[in-house]
């Protein structure tokens, strides 16, 4: 999941450099969503493992 977030982040940066603001915004939004999902799953896994 974190891998896909980083891939979308790279796509957003490259698209922004070439001036594709719509694609860059969409890719950055997807990167944010995937990163938040990764954090939630990581926290759940940590607490399941700790108990």
Is there a contact between 41 and 4 (Cβ–Cβ < 8 Å)?
Answer: no
With 90 as the cut, is the pLDDT of residue 50 above it?
Answer: no
Q: What is the pTM of this model?
A: 0.82
What integer pLDDT is reported at residue 46 of this predicted model?
Answer: 95
Output the DSSP codes for 1-51: -HHHHHHHHHHHHHHHHTT-HHHHHHHHHHHHHHHHHHHHHHHHHHHHHH-
pLDDT in the model for residue 1: 80
Rounded distance between C-alpha atoms, residue 9 and residue 6, angstroms:
5
* pLDDT (average), residues 18-35: 94
* Structural domain boundaries in the chain: 2-50
């Amino acid at each position: 999941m974190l891998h896909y977030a980083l891939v979308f982040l790279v796509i957003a940066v490259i698209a922004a450099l070439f001036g594709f603001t719509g694609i860059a915004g969409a890719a950055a939004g997807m990167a944010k969503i995937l990163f938040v999902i990764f954090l939630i799953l990581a926290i759940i896994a940590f607490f399941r493992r700790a108990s």
